[in-house]
Structure 1
């Protein structure tokens, strides 16, 4: 792993205007987070603590109020706009319903001006890689939730991003489909080891997928309060690894760091 991280968020603070002219709301305060080249890092924390805010900062979709974002050692300037070395996979499908599967997969290549025949060839190859060979002529509404997630993965990875940003991409799926998609993601990631920043509410998912798990405090003013190395062997089957003593020990340790923060967030939500 390179000494220069693929993604560095240094002393990030994000403030938003208060309601009805009230005091500003500080969602994130002095947060520092690193993702090494080829590293899979998951971020967990209480609901509403600012996980997605940090991901949007990493994507260049949100300029922080203070702090520095660096991509492979180069500062990401607000004037540059989005982080062009990253691919973003949203919680909701970012598929165009009027396009077929293959047309959705190659949309980014179309926007880049890649010749149609070349884009189609790459798109067909990615459909095969995600297990959707023969489904390229179907529209998103004709596909299951798991198939649409595979399509979204192909749509993102065909652009060959150096960093993959994922915002709870599998949260809407049933348990069985979710585990299949987690294994699918790990298999694709193992092929070329992109740097991944993965946001999830599910601690088990975070441990099963990751090299490191970062725990955020309850908001407002969230910041990392724990950074745990996941030294489980790879390759992994996410359903099998969850039954091992080493996994259970990690779960106890990380939950110990999370529990009080989750309770704090819950009490604040009740009092709101």
Structure 2
């Protein structure tokens, strides 16, 4: 098996202006420029950067939902021809169908893959059990708390047993206590099977606490990696307890020294747009 589960090789993403869709692509808005990023099989990588810098664009490229303007994406050493069928995607807002119960939401991906209903239900129930929702399978999304909906969405992704997990700020809307519980649950489930994870977050503490490696992106437009940091904190980790360790504080200081300037640039650009 190739060393890398997911590779972004010299990726550039340029979007045409909606005011002038006939303009040459090179005159549009470049969200991501000349970006190379590799995620090893079994590695947990977090990407941090200023608001609007193109983090989600990069994730969509990795999912095969967006074709880059130039560059290539490889999945386990093979070019990605379209949708990344070896990846599961956990969105920032839950992609739960409100008319389906929790167990029916978890089943749906298995059903699309042709798994018989009875077996899909059995597997879905097992995953709900693993994320602490074994007794809540018949409840609908509006009957679940925010944390419970996130657990359902997580079970929905993991039930497909993807080789790569893409996560786009999945816990940003949760309160701090629920967020830390979810972070620890993800780490526990990840440790059991060691899938490749590409995790997008605005929270540097979260990125350090969870990851093997943290990648800092520059402010947009034309975002690109500004630095990569190996996170050598011992595992297993508790995301609350690890933040008190001297090495965590040292890593935070090192990464923030790179990230801070980019956040200030991004903030200045947002103010300029609003003016």
TM-score by length of 2: 0.96
Task: Tell me which residue corresponds to 2:8.
Answer: 9
Ranges in structure 2 where 5+ consecutive residues have no aligned partner: none
1:76 matched residue in structure 2: 80
CA deviations over 1:131-188 (Å, ceiling 9, x no partner): 0011101011000000011100100000000000000000000000000000010011
Match of 1:27 in 2: 31
Match of 1:90 in 2: 91
SS of the equivalent of 2:219 reads: coil
Report the 3-state secondary structure (helix = DSSP H, G, I; strand = E; otherwise coil) of the residue aligned with 1:232: coil
Q: Confirm or deny that 1:213 pairs with 2:214.
A: yes
| 1:51-200 aligned within 5 A | 51-77=55-81, 81-200=82-201
Looking at structure 1, the residues matched to 89 and 37 of structure 2 have their Cα atoms a distance apart, in angstroms, of 18
Q: Secondary structure at the match of 1:265?
A: helix
Is the Cα contact below 8 Å between 2:43 and 2:212 reproduced in 1?
yes
Question: What is the RMSD computed on CA atoms of the aligned residues?
Answer: 1.0
* 1:94-114 residue CA offsets vs partner (Å, 9 max, x unmatched): 000101111011111111221
Tell me the alpha carbon deviations over residues 1-22 of structure 1, each in whole angstroms, 9 at most, x when there is no partner. Answer: x653000000000000124227
Q: Tell me the secondary structure at the aligned position of residue 29 of structure 1.
A: strand
Distance 2:190 2:57 in 1: 24
Q: Which runs of 5+ in 1 are unaligned?
A: none
In structure 2, C-alpha distance between the alignment counterparts of 1:60 and 1:93, rounded to whole Å: 19
> Following the alignment from structure 1 to structure 2, what is the Cα–Cα distance between the partners of residues 122 and 27?
39
Deviations, residues 64-107 of structure 1 (Å, cap 9, x unaligned): 00001000000012xxx210000000000100010111101111
User: Are 1:236 and 2:240 matched, yes or no?
Assistant: no
Distance in 1, matches of 2:120 and 2:266, equals: 46
Paired residues of 2:2 and 2:76 also in contact (CA < 8 A): no
Distance in 2, matches of 1:156 and 1:258, equals: 30
TM-score (norm 1): 0.97
